[in-house]
Structure formats: C-alpha cells, structure tokens
Structure 1
Amino acid sequence: MANRNGKLSEEKVFKDPVHRYIHVRDKLIWDLIGTPEFQRLRRVRQLGTTYLTFHGAEHSRLNHSLGVYEIVRRMVDDVFKGRPEWNEEERLVSLCAALLHDLGHGPFSHSFEKVFHMDHEDFTRRIILEDTEVNRVLKTEGKDFPKKVAEVIAKTYSNKQVVSLISSQIDADRMDYLQRDAYYTGVSYGHFDMERILRVMRPREDQVVIKYSGMHAVEDYIMSRYQMYWQVYFHPVTRSAEVILTKILHRAKQLHEENYTFKQEPVHFYSLFNGEVILKDYLKMDESVILFYFQAWEEEEDPILSDLCSRFLHRNLFKYVEFNPSNEQMMKLLELKALFKKAGIDPEYYLVLDSSSDLPYDFYRPGEEEERLPIHLLMPNGEIRELSRQSEIVDAISGKRRTDHKLYFPLDLIEDLSVKRTAKKKIIELLNLHK
C-alpha cells in the first residue's frame, strides 16, 4: 500500500554486503524492482566471464543496479535535499534512471555486444520506452515520464546535473561497481572512502562538484579505479575466456549462415544472427540460456564449435604471450597464421590478438572523440577548479591512455602436434615458448 504522495506505507529494506542496507520508500521504485525486465538482471552476471578468474565474482547486474540506486538515493535524500541548487522535482527521475541504467545488458554483456554489433544502452532505452512492464509502471508517474528517464540514460536530458549523478567521471555507477566488484572478487584495490566523497559533494548548475577538502578521497577513488581495471577487469585469464566466448558466438553465426544442421537448433539466436532483434526475443536472452546452448553444442559435429564450447565450460582456456603490434610483430603474426593453417589449426578461431585500453581520468578536450566531463573542485574562496589542476597525482595520469596487447592461442593443440612437423617447432619459436 502507498500513501497519496507515492510513498510506501512501510519502508522496504534490502540487506546488502556493500551498502549494508538499500532503502525503498517510493512505490514507483518498489514496483519497478518487481517487473520481469528488472528481475531478468538476476540472470546476467555483473562481471561476465570474470568468475572464471575470481571464483567469487558471481554477483549480478541486479545487485549492482540496486547499489547505484541506493547511492543516488543517499545523494538526493541526504546530501542535496534542501540545497537551493537542487530541484526536488528531479528526485524521482534520478532514482529511476539509477535503478534502470543497466536494464538492457545482454548475457556476458560486452562479448555479446561485440559479436552482434549491439549497444546495451539502446536496449535499455527500448525497454523503458516500448511495450514492457517497466514502461507501464513508469507511466503511472506521467505519460512523458518514461521519456525523461530514457533521456537521463542517453545523456540528453535537459538537466545535466541529473545526468552527472549516473554518468560522469565520479558517479554513482562507478562508485558502486568498484566497491561491489572488489568485494566479490576478494581484492583490495577497489576500496575508497565513499562516505567522505558523499559528504563533500555539492550540487551546482549542470554538474556535481566536490569540496576542496575532499580532494584526497577523490584521488584515492581514481587510483582505485585504475588498479581495478588492470588487476581485475583486464585480467588476462578473463580476457582469454572472453576470446573463447566471442569465438563460440562467431562460429555459431557462421555455421547458421552456411546452413549447417545443428543438433541443437539455436532458436534463441535467430533474430540476432539475422540482425533483426525483436525486444521480446532479446529479453529472453540471459546467461542460463547461453550456457544451455554451450552444453548442447559441446556434442555438435562441427569440431571447432564443439571444442570451443568444451574449453569454455571446463575452463580449458587459451594461453597468451605479450604482443607489441609493431610492423615486425605483425609480420610474425601473419607467419604464425600460415603455420597454424599448415598444422591444421584454424587461426581464425585459435590465434587471437586481443587489446585492452583504459583512460583513468581526463578533462574535456574539444574536438576529441568523446566528451569527458571533468571532476571539479569547489575551492574555499568559491572558485571552481578542474581536479587535475589542483592534484599532482591526478595530473600525472590525466589524458594518459594505457593499452595492453596479448596474443591468445591453445597451447595444448600446439603441443599435440606431431614432433616431426616443422610447423610445431617454428610456432613455438615465434611464440617464444622456450622461455
């Protein structure tokens, strides 16, 4: 039951390992949590294939979405409330955008998107705007309310201050996933003083700023993010699993295009393979569906699809070597591909160059590919200063993109090659496997 003001007659509380409690006071939020589209996020892991590296990383997109909601709730109900720079009428749209921001993620999100050329944010907006239970619940707040929520997620909403709460270089999304992912992976890198950051946040026109006294907490947050990317998100074993996952989906798509007769027909994939994704079909895709197919495809006649599925399911992953994509090394890669073919190993599926790249912090550089809203400090004299102009630590990493390249391959298949094959010896030599 709800009061006339849209509040629940009794507050609902979720126990949470990161924020201790997640508080729900609005009927609208409670109803959104109960929709099938939101509950589907229980079946999509937050960290994709990372569970094959860090066994505790089994948490879901639903965990994270509730966490982002709770951080924004604390901002608007505890930190901003009563301040003249904050419009209380933006409260509900901010909370809904925070809760629903990841609604469109598919199974094993980023690998899935890469293969099928999709963007989860497009599907998030479609779920909010099209014929769904989420859309019907949002419309109880007003006919145009779903459009407002979708605009916040698309970063086109007129009030940029609201957008910055869930999409900036220090937003509720990042603050939740860094702590949550650190908790579930068991690492120490992602921890920072969020309580301090929330205390020193101040709403300003078009953005949220940080009081100068909280600068060191923000420095710690940025370094935590940097460490999490290189120690967890870009872990080479996780990337190996992603490479195999991606190649499974590519192989299944290719076989479909070649009219291969599957023992287990990929009925859930038809609209994806054909590039005509119906929202209803998309919402049926989750990780339990994907893993069902991988188990079935392990028995397929096609040796590549069968082998790749077996590798993924039983964690027989590819090995890797460091790779510098210079002209000389790229010539080596071409030679390796030829040798793989000669040895009967398809390089399209078994020799993969994978790159990871991250920009830990940047300020807006006009004309560059992506506008990055900088973090601004509120100085004691009332002046607003961009963070890297005040912090030597942040200045040292600003605008510095770090990129890492690795070459992935199945060591077991190479070792199984006949000793007499000259290809084996040359492959081992080119991959520097003698070391």
Structure 2
Amino acid sequence: MKLQNKLKILNDPIYGFISIPSEEIFKIVEHPYFQRLRRITQMGLSYLVYPGAHHTRFHHALGCMHLMQKAVQVLRSKSVEISDQEEDALYKAILLHDIGHGPFSHALEYQIVNGVTHEELSSYFMNHLNNEFNGSLTLAIQIFKGEYHRPFMLELISSQLDMDRLDYLKRDSFYTGVAEGNINSQ
C-alpha cells in the first residue's frame, strides 16, 4: 500500500509558501464545499473596474489560515496559553469562516437567499462538515459562534483587526493594484 503525504505546501502570491498544518485540514480543503470557493470571486464584480481582481474566496481562506498560524505563533511566544485543540479549532474556524459565500460574494448576498447572511450559511456548512468529520469541528464552531469561553479567539476571526481583514486588505490591494490596502500583516 502506497502512503500519501497529506501535508501540503501551497505557493501564495501574497505570503509565499503556506503550509496545510494537518491531514484533517487538508481533507477539509479537498472537500467539495471548500473547493467551490475556487469559483467564488473575492470582490464580486470589481474585476470589471480592476481587471486583475479575479482572486477567489479559496485564495482568501487559505491566506487567512496562514495568518492565523502566524498569530498563534506570536501569541504563544508572548506566553498566551493555546492548547493544541484550540490551535486546530482556530485554523478550522478561520479556514471556513467564508464558506457560506455565494456567487459574486457580497454583491448578491441577499439576492440568492433572502434574509440569510453568508455567516449563517457558513455556520450551516460547518455543522454539516462537523457531522462528516465525526464532530472534530465542534470547538471551531463554538469559537466561530462566539460561544467559547475565551472571547479573544473569536476576535482573531471576526473583529476590527482580525485575520480576515488583514488578508483581504492585503490581497485585494495586491490584485487591484491599489496601494491604500497594502498593510503590513506582520
């Protein structure tokens, strides 16, 4: 039987090499729910004005996970206790935070399913994946919903200065050629 290495490294135009931290996260990335993000543009119809803005939610989610890896390293270096389970959950939560986006992202968000946000759809997808992955996303879902007893973890995913915002500012700036969003995420 031939063993297959599931720990992959991707080359991102923004950050360089991004590593997939576990075999299970690689399986999530391979899942059709996540792969559909390859066809969902990050900036909706903005490519009509900025021809280079064809980047996708797939690129963005991987970039966010990379930034979360860096954030966990920095927090641990500052003596913030983060268990291996919390680390894994943070990676899964940020990787899946936008999985509920539909075609053209925010541009059509309320047109496809009236009154339902992409966050609610992301939660639905995450719950379904949690069933498929035998409950291994439970902690990630708690963090994503703000139900975990360490609120700073949600702030890493959704706040005024989170991994989501750090990635989209830098990524959108890069692909549009607009310098205003080119921030230093380090």
TM-score, length-normalised on structure 1?
A: 0.39
Displacement of 1:21: 1.2
For the aligned residues, what is the CA RMSD? 1.9
Taking the TM superposition and a 5 Å limit, the aligned residue runs for 1:404-415 are none
Q: 1:43 to 1:156 in 2, by over 3 A?
A: same
Equivalent in 77, 98, 107 of residue 94 of structure 2: 98
| 2:126 equivalent in structure 1 | 128
Q: Report the residue type matching 2:178 in the other structure.
A: V
Q: 1:82 to 1:181 in 2, by over 3 A?
A: closer
Distance 1:181 1:96 in 2: 23
| 1:25 equivalent in structure 2 | 21
Q: Does 1:86 align with 2:81?
A: yes
Distance 1:52 1:67 in 2: 24
Q: 1:193 to 1:36 in 2, by over 3 A?
A: same
> For structure 2, which runs of at least 5 residues remain unmatched after alignment?
none
| 1:119 equivalent in structure 2 | 117
| 2:163 equivalent in structure 1 | 172
Displacement of 1:81: 2.7
Residues 64 and 164 in structure 2, CA contact (< 8 A), matched pair in contact too: yes
Displacement of 1:95: 0.6
Distance 1:80 1:110 in 2: 32
Q: Report the residue type matching 1:103 in the other structure.
A: I
| Secondary structure class of the residue paired with 1:170 | coil
| Secondary structure class of the residue paired with 1:32 | helix
Residues 121 and 153 in structure 1, CA contact (< 8 A), matched pair in contact too: no
Equivalent in 47, 60, 69 of residue 56 of structure 2: 60
Displacement of 1:13: 0.7
Q: Report the residue type matching 2:125 in the other structure.
A: I
| 2:38 equivalent in structure 1 | 42
| Secondary structure class of the residue paired with 1:22 | strand
Distance 2:185 2:131 in 1: 32
Distance 2:38 2:97 in 1: 15
| 1:295 equivalent in structure 2 | none
Q: Does 1:14 align with 2:10?
A: yes
Taking the TM superposition and a 5 Å limit, the aligned residue runs for 1:139-288 are 139=134, 143=135, 145-195=136-186
Distance 1:41 1:135 in 2: 20
Q: 1:56 to 1:91 in 2, by over 3 A?
A: same
Q: Report the residue type matching 2:9 in the other structure.
A: V
How many matched pairs? 180
| Secondary structure class of the residue paired with 2:179 | coil
TM-score, length-normalised on structure 2?
A: 0.88
Distance 1:99 1:109 in 2: 16
Displacement of 1:170: 1.1
Distance 1:25 1:94 in 2: 12
Distance 1:108 1:49 in 2: 6
| 2:70 equivalent in structure 1 | 74
| Secondary structure class of the residue paired with 1:25 | coil
Displacement of 1:67: 0.2
Displacement of 1:157: 2.3
Displacement of 1:107: 0.9
Displacement of 1:112: 2.3
Residues 10 and 25 in structure 1, CA contact (< 8 A), matched pair in contact too: no
Q: Deviations over 1:378-416 (max 9, x none)?
A: xxxxxxxxxxxxxxxxxxxxxxxxxxxxxxxxxxxxxxx
Q: Deviations over 1:2-55 (max 9, x none)?
A: xxxxxx967421000111111113111111100000000001100001111111
Richer in strand (by share): 1
